[in-house]
Chains A and B, each alone.
Chain A
Amino acid sequence: MAVDAANIKTNGHEPSYLEYKGKHTGILGWILSTDHKRIGILYLISLSVFFLVGVTFGFLMRLELIAPGRTIMDAQTYNSFFTLHGVIMIFLFVVPGIPAVFGNFVLPILIGAKDVAFPRINLMSWYMYVFGGLLAVTAILLPGGPADTGWTFYVPYAVRTNTNVVVALLAAFILGFSSILTGLNFVTTVHRLRAPGMTWFKMPLSIWSLYSTAWVQVLATPIIGITLLLVAVERWFGVGIFDPALGGDPVLYQHLFWIYSHPAVYIMILPAMGVVSEIIPVFARRTIFGYKFIAFSSIAIALFGSLVWAHHMFTVGMSDTGMFIFSLLTMLVAIPSAIKVFNWVATLYKGSIDLSTPLLFVLAFIFLFTIGGLTGVMQGVLSIDIQIHDTSFIVAHFHYVMFGGTGFGFFAAMHYWFPKMFGRMYNEKLSKIYFWLLFIGFNFLYFPMFIMGWLGMPRRYYDYLPEFQTYHLISTIGSWILVIGVLLMVFNMYRSVMKGKVVTEKNIWGGETLEWQIDTPPIHENFYDIPVVETDPYQYKMNEEKSEKEVVN
């Protein structure tokens, strides 16, 4: 927002948070730090490692699927791979991703605070993240091998299989707890630490998104906590709660599982939508269109998102009434998301477009998320879902929303806030090259899955009929293009952090939110003095001048 420049002291006397020396120095100064910015970086490093591990599993899975029959691994290994790929990508990348890295770094600054409400709990949630992640991956080394149940751990198979299910369950439980702590921290921070003058409707839209996400993290995550705990208890004590032989209902497990896991996808997408709302005004040089609609749609998505879970279960034997209700509610949940897309496009319209890398990723997000979202609505239709449930159509759908959506949103945030976080700039030419590799690779990898899923190719299948071969071939080649893009991106990011062109200017993009009014990189406490906020966010003068001209004409 156009904060009075005099409010933000700019004498540059203090060292940046990267150089700050507190109670501890060196590496201890990082892993014992309660500075939200350092914690965000710690998350970025550990998250990137786990992301690459997840990519590796995906890459190997696609290699296996390039031809029917056994290619490089046996069926049991393939089952463990898709389980690990799912667990890692979901619990270690997509769910924590934007809140843990960028939320942590940017949220306090955007509301004019010096840190989050509970800095030590923030650090603890990172420790839990790393511990949970390591636990998930160590299963590979244990006898019995990693779980082969799929990331959904459906009973009764999850109770009966001899693979290391409990380790995976424990890891997911700990990661869930990490997520809860982040959510709890963010809700309290937004309520209690906004700078003077920053009313709810003067907050940047990414804060609305992170706030809504935080509520879902707090309320929905415990359900999967208890559900996974019960599967572990079932394996240890044979209690019978989900065991059909003892009167238990495996479908009840699925209900409980999805009561979290559906809202979880909104934990995944809402922050990415917040990032999009931040980036578009800056790179279109226009005030965001429909601020209140976007703000309220974040709340609406969080709310409606908790009403639709059983659309993951249309083929398991639910009552017809239940299915009708959930199908109807699923149609409703698309509305607030659509509202956001309309508002974003309206903001771009007649804007002064700067096609820098952050905006490229955002445009890709809008395109890919729309495809993902629309196919989601298709799946909400009962007659369609009966045919395509558990096919690769579903796999394509969720990769378009989770990867094309949240993933690209994460990359957008990375390229947008990079200069502020590190005081360096990445190689823009290279970033545009790998942007196109990522975008093209992505579509070649996943679009064929829509087609073959529609034609009957099942998901989680290690082998397949010859009629699907061409699609699989295209898809695997797409994965190679995508992986090259990923590697180039990681290379560019890493090299630029170490040796990129130094950036000291506060506002490299011409943004109007608070992070662009402070030092690059920020000092330890973000602000020399807490700012007093007087205007709305995203006020672009050009907008006012333009509308004056239009009035005169």
Chain B
Amino acid sequence: MQIHDKPHEHSHSYGSYILVWLALMALTAITVAVAGMDIGRFTVATALIIASFKAYLVLSVFMHLRSETKTFVVFVIVALLFLGISFVLLFSDYSFH
């Protein structure tokens, strides 16, 4: 529809972004610390989980996904799903060599 949207609303305060930035820096520090510890296979898994959470913060706050319409969220999920499915099916070959 040739819609007239209401003005794009998101937080006009600097504070929330700075808080998220601090969280991102802290998470980075944690990832580095965890890598230094010897927990074998879980190092990578932990690092990736933390990275995913950092990406989530950037996506939802910095990129304003949380204030866009649901359509954008569906879009992102579809794109990630495509990558995810490719990954899983690719390994249906490689994990069984």
On A, residues with C-beta under 8 Å from B are 113, 191-196, 198, 215, 219-220, 223, 255, 259, 306-307, 309-310, 318-322, 325-326, 530
Residues of B within 8 A of A220 (CB): 82
Docked-complex contact B94 and A306, CB < 8 angstroms:
no
Docked-complex contact B1 and A306, CB < 8 angstroms:
no
With A191-B71, A219-B79 given, is the CB distance from A321 to B2 under 8 Å? Answer: no
**Docked complex: B74-97 residues within 8 A CB-CB of A:** 78-79, 82, 85-86, 89-90, 92-97
Docked-complex contact B89 and A307, CB < 8 angstroms:
yes
How far, in whole Å, are A321 and B88 apart by their CA atoms in the complex? 13
How far, in whole Å, are A307 and B96 apart by their CA atoms in the complex? 18
Residues of A within 8 A of B95 (CB): 319, 321
Residues of A within 8 A of B92 (CB): 319, 321-322, 325-326
Residues of B within 8 A of A259 (CB): 86, 90
Docked-complex contact B85 and A321, CB < 8 angstroms:
no
Instruction: Give the interface size class of chain B.
Output: 10 to 19
Residues of A within 8 A of B3 (CB): 192
Residues of B within 8 A of A307 (CB): 85, 89
Residues of B within 8 A of A198 (CB): 1
What is the 8 Å Cβ interface bit string for chain B, positions 1-45, against chain A (1 contact, 0 not)? Answer: 111000000000000000000000000000000000000000000
Residues of B within 8 A of A196 (CB): 1-2
Docked-complex contact A306 and B86, CB < 8 angstroms:
yes
Residues of A within 8 A of B1 (CB): 192, 194-196, 198
Residues of A within 8 A of B96 (CB): 319-322
Chain A, residue nearest B89 (CB): A307
Smallest beta-carbon distance B19→chain A, Å: 33
With A192-B3, A215-B78 given, is the CB distance from A310 to B86 under 8 Å? Answer: no
Residues of A within 8 A of B71 (CB): 191
With A306-B82, A319-B94 given, is the CB distance from A325 to B2 under 8 Å? Answer: no
Docked-complex contact B82 and A255, CB < 8 angstroms:
no
Contact of A310 among B85, B89, B97 (CB under 8 A): B89
Docked-complex contact A318 and B2, CB < 8 angstroms:
no
Residues of A within 8 A of B78 (CB): 215, 219
Docked-complex contact B89 and A326, CB < 8 angstroms:
yes
Residues of A within 8 A of B86 (CB): 223, 259, 306
Smallest beta-carbon distance B23→chain A, Å: 30
Residues of B within 8 A of A255 (CB): 90, 93
Sample (24) of A-B pairs whose CB atoms are under 8 Å apart: A113-B2, A194-B1, A195-B1, A195-B2, A196-B1, A259-B86, A306-B85, A306-B86, A309-B89, A310-B89, A318-B93, A319-B93, A319-B94, A319-B95, A319-B96, A320-B96, A321-B92, A321-B93, A321-B95, A322-B92, A322-B93, A322-B94, A325-B89, A325-B92
Smallest beta-carbon distance A135→chain B, Å: 28
How far, in whole Å, are A255 and B97 apart by their CA atoms in the complex? 15
Smallest beta-carbon distance A112→chain B, Å: 9
Docked-complex contact B2 and A193, CB < 8 angstroms:
yes
Chain B, residue nearest A329 (CB): B89
11 more contacts with CB within 8 A, not counting A219-B79, A530-B2, are A191-B71, A195-B2, A220-B82, A259-B90, A306-B86, A309-B89, A318-B93, A319-B94, A322-B96, A325-B89, A326-B89
How far, in whole Å, are A320 and B97 apart by their CA atoms in the complex? 8
How far, in whole Å, are A195 and B2 apart by their CA atoms in the complex? 6
Chain A, residue nearest B69 (CB): A191
Smallest beta-carbon distance A302→chain B, Å: 10
How far, in whole Å, are A508 and B35 apart by their CA atoms in the complex? 71
Smallest beta-carbon distance A439→chain B, Å: 37
Smallest beta-carbon distance A256→chain B, Å: 9
How far, in whole Å, are A325 and B91 apart by their CA atoms in the complex? 11
Closest 6 CB pairs of A and B: A322-B93, A319-B96, A321-B96, A322-B92, A219-B82, A318-B93
Chain A, residue nearest B97 (CB): A319
Chain B, residue nearest A220 (CB): B82
Residues of A within 8 A of B94 (CB): 319, 322
Chain A, residue nearest B86 (CB): A259
How far, in whole Å, are A318 and B95 apart by their CA atoms in the complex? 10
How far, in whole Å, are A498 and B82 apart by their CA atoms in the complex? 46
Chain B, residue nearest A309 (CB): B89
Residues of A within 8 A of B85 (CB): 306-307
Chain B, residue nearest A316 (CB): B93
Chain A, residue nearest B75 (CB): A187
Q: Which of B82, B90, B95, B97 has the most CB of A within 10 A?
A: B82
Chain A, residue nearest B5 (CB): A192
Chain A, residue nearest B82 (CB): A219
Chain B, residue nearest A112 (CB): B2
Residues of A within 8 A of B97 (CB): 319
How far, in whole Å, are A171 and B56 apart by their CA atoms in the complex? 36
Chain B, residue nearest A325 (CB): B92
Residues of B within 8 A of A530 (CB): 2
With A191-B71, A215-B78 given, is the CB distance from A310 to B93 under 8 Å? Answer: yes
Chain B, residue nearest A216 (CB): B82
Residues of A within 8 A of B90 (CB): 255, 259
Chain B, residue nearest A263 (CB): B82
Q: Which of B78, B92, B94 has the most CB of A within 10 A?
A: B92
Residues of B within 8 A of A320 (CB): 96
Smallest beta-carbon distance B69→chain A, Å: 10
How far, in whole Å, are A195 and B93 apart by their CA atoms in the complex? 47
Residues of B within 8 A of A113 (CB): 2
Residues of B within 8 A of A309 (CB): 89
Smallest beta-carbon distance B6→chain A, Å: 15
How far, in whole Å, are A196 and B2 apart by their CA atoms in the complex? 7
